[in-house]
Amino acid sequence: MAAANSRLYPLERIRNIGIIAHIDAGKTTTTERILFYTGRTYKIGDIDEGNTQMDWMDQEKERGITIVSAATKAFWTPTTGLFANIEHCFNIIDTPGHVDFTAEVERSLRVLDGGITVLDAEEGVQSQSETVWRQADKYSVPRICFVNKMDKLGADFLNCVKTIEVRLGANPAIMVLPIGAENTYKGNIDLLTRQSIVWGSDELGAKFEVSDEVPEDMKDQVEEYRNKLVEKICETDDALLERYLSGEEPSIEELKKALRAAVIAYKLVPIYAGTSLRNKGVQPLLDAVVDYLPSPVDLDQVTGKNPKTDAEEVRKLVPEEAFSGLAFKIQNDPHVGKITYFRVYSGKLEAGSYVYNPNKGVKERIGRLLLMHANDREEVKEAYAGEIVAIVGLKETFTGNTLCDESKPIILEQITFPEPVISLAIEPKTKSDQEKLGYSMKRLQEEDPTFTVKSNHETGQTIISGIGELQLEIMVDRMKREFGVEANVGAPQVAYKEAIETTAEAEGKYIRQSGGRGQYGHCFLRVEAKPRGEGNEFVNAIKGGAIPAEFIKAVEKGVKETLDNGVLLGYPMVDVKVTCYDGSYHDVDSNEVAFKIAASQAIQAATKKASITLLEPVMKVEVTTPSEFMGDVIGDLSSKRAQISGTEEKGTATIILAIVPLAELSGYATQLRSMTQGRASYYMEPSHYEIVPKNILEQMVSKSNFTGRVE
């Protein structure tokens, strides 16, 4: 079992990598080939047959998509390059491509050292490619690009590289040139070594032929692109550039070392090509991961904050350092219970030991430590810096929490997630379903931070919210299958938000006498609009004890609950600063309940005076349609309050880019299909929140019984 135990590996021989891409670019297929060629599996998994290792959930097999990121460990010995014949350990995370599961990509990138971005050779850079690229930029993750599907009709390697440059703003280093394209694609030419690598004799792609012969018709192109590559690499290293300009070409080893440094510093992005489905081009990609992507040693250290002093703390990424790490994912397992996926950044972690959670200020006991392979697991006694493991037994630790040595506390950078934009009402069918519903919601919320749950006390319904309809559909399906909850589900609703536009003040007074002890609460509140996205703020400006300190908390609670439940149409109110500046109390009759009710009255009155407006989620939409339907599609989008931001021609198709309010996109997939004879497709992702136009807001308000001022 020695080979399956990465603690026998020096840190410089570990690579923590993620596979990221647009939907259908071939991430899971590429991961399956990596597992096969590294000897982790003995049979190639196929998405269409539903027997892949990494897509193990029933819903993933049925739909042919990745829903949750899956972690695995594999081992690879490159035959060429800087580390030839030295076995390396890969911790690999396969992430979803669908925007509804963007949280899975976000948290995976937070803990990875390097990434492989998979692109479709015909489509080039697509919308979600841009989104995951920006997420990788946010966490400064060095990456390699793999231009997949070189066998596909319309595959164009150099055009795909051009889109990487233009749409992603990256600096590509073309490492290979494909031999042939579409049905004639058979291999690549490695530009640095000028060697041809051809697949063909072995159907599973495990064997390939390497030769020094370059096809006659490609010799000039190979020299042209090789010179460009050498020049690009030398430009990142002053010493090499000086030699190169004086007419001396550095050796291949020197070029590879300089390229490795440039990739880690994110100056260059190496580009490879292949077709995972046809088993071509994956092994050189694995060699490139070893040669160019960083090990924990290359990244040297991680920074965080001391929870007690707020001073910056630094941890070297070595086992000798004080223990620290980040919980990046929660998974509920029917056999084991709650599993916490964890990246160990420094020090070591032992099963059965106690660690400190500085986010919650509590000690946690490590039950068991597991190495994960999709949903299979292997138990270990300890985990060291650089490893990704799963912990069983944590009760208080959630996604984004740090665990560390109590004597040397540190809080590592948190993971930020996008806000939900769409909601569903859900009602359990029976009393026993009601109890199971609460339990299942809690578990699913732990797993996915973008999935939120709220109870509507007036209707008795539970409102679930998320990033998209597909995510909510999967959650409802999981409730039914995993937790046995039978429930009625309403139609998807847009997650609006309320906001105010001006400043206003109001008084809240609650007096009740009913024999014996009465109720008395009295406060004055001022509301002010804050910039978008800054959240709500409560300020205590009481002077001279007009309201005793013990009742201020009750005022704040009344304000918070009222804002959360909304004033205009029942949507949460955001970006409001509330100041409690005056009030009065009664020595006998005042209590927390009275002040909470008074605060609720005051905040409702103040916000109604402060010009309440409604914010709606706006989506970034990309429609790919045959050019003859372009006019119809644009006309239809314009009728949906869309702002067309541009069009691009791609062969016989046109890509239309637009910003469209989510409220207008209900049932759009069906409309688009009927308008284009089923030949167009679209992709959307949340963009931002915008003020709802006055005429639409008035219609919405007139259907409710709101009395107040609307701007």
**Statement: residue 1 has pLDDT above 50:** no
Q: Taking a C-beta distance cutoff of 8 angstroms, is the pair 508, 603 a contact?
A: yes
* pLDDT range class, residue 42, cuts 50, 70, 90: low
CATH no. for 311-412? 2.40.30.10
CATH number of 422-495: 3.20.20.80, 3.40.50.720, 3.30.70.870, 3.30.200.20? 3.30.70.870
pLDDT, the chain, mean: 85
Q: What is the mean pLDDT of residues 347-353?
A: 90
The 10s digit of each residue's pLDDT in 587-621 is: 888 899 999 999 999 999 999 999 999 999 998 88
Burial readout 227-241 (b: 16 or more C-beta within 10 A, e: otherwise)? eebbebbbbbbeebb
CATH no. for 615-697? 3.30.70.240
* pLDDT range class, residue 115, cuts 50, 70, 90: very high
Residue 540: how many other CB atoms lie within 10 Å: 13
The 10s digit of each residue's pLDDT in 414-466 is: 777 777 888 888 888 888 888 888 888 888 888 888 888 887 665 667 888 88
Tell me which of 103-117, 235-249, 267-281, 643-657 is least confident. Answer: 103-117
pTM recorded for the entire structure: 0.74
Alpha helices in 64-193 (DSSP H): 102-111, 127-138, 157-168
How much is the pLDDT for 8?
57
> Do 11-298 and 311-412 share a fold?
no
Report how far residue 38's alpha carbon sits from residue 286's, in angstroms, rounded to the nearest whole number: 9
The dihedral built from the CA positions of residue 442, 447, 451 and 452, taken in this order, carries a sign that is: positive
Strand partners, 382: 350
Pick from 516, 444, 521, 510: which is nearest to 476 by CA? 444
CATH number of 498-610: 3.30.230.10, 3.90.79.10, 2.30.110.10, 1.10.3720.10? 3.30.230.10
**Statement: residue 7 has pLDDT above 60:** no
How much is the pLDDT for 29?
84
Report how far residue 408's alpha carbon sits from residue 322's, in angstroms, rounded to the nearest whole number: 7
Q: Taking a C-beta distance cutoff of 8 angstroms, is the pair 130, 167 a contact?
A: yes
Report how far residue 681's alpha carbon sits from residue 239's, in angstroms, rounded to the nearest whole number: 50
Alpha helices in 206-274 (DSSP H): 219-235, 238-245, 252-264
Which has more confidence, 128 or 182? Answer: 182
The 10s digit of each residue's pLDDT in 468-493 is: 787 888 888 888 888 888 888 887 78
* DSSP-based three-state secondary structure for 533: coil
Q: Tokens standing for 545?
A: 């004890």
The domain covering 11-298 belongs, at the CATH homologous superfamily level, to P-loop containing nucleotide triphosphate hydrolases (3.40.50.300)
* pLDDT range class, residue 708, cuts 50, 70, 90: very low
DSSP state of 535: -
Which has more confidence, 616 or 669? Answer: 616
How much is the pLDDT for 56?
43
Phi, psi for 456 (deg, rounded to 5): -100, 105
Give residue for tokens 């070029």. 255
How much is the pLDDT for 685?
80
Pick from 505, 564, 557: which is nearest to 535 by CA? 564
Report how far residue 606's alpha carbon sits from residue 500's, in angstroms, rounded to the nearest whole number: 10
Q: Give the residue extent of every domain in the chain.
A: 11-298, 311-412, 422-495, 498-610, 615-697
* pLDDT range class, residue 577, cuts 50, 70, 90: very high
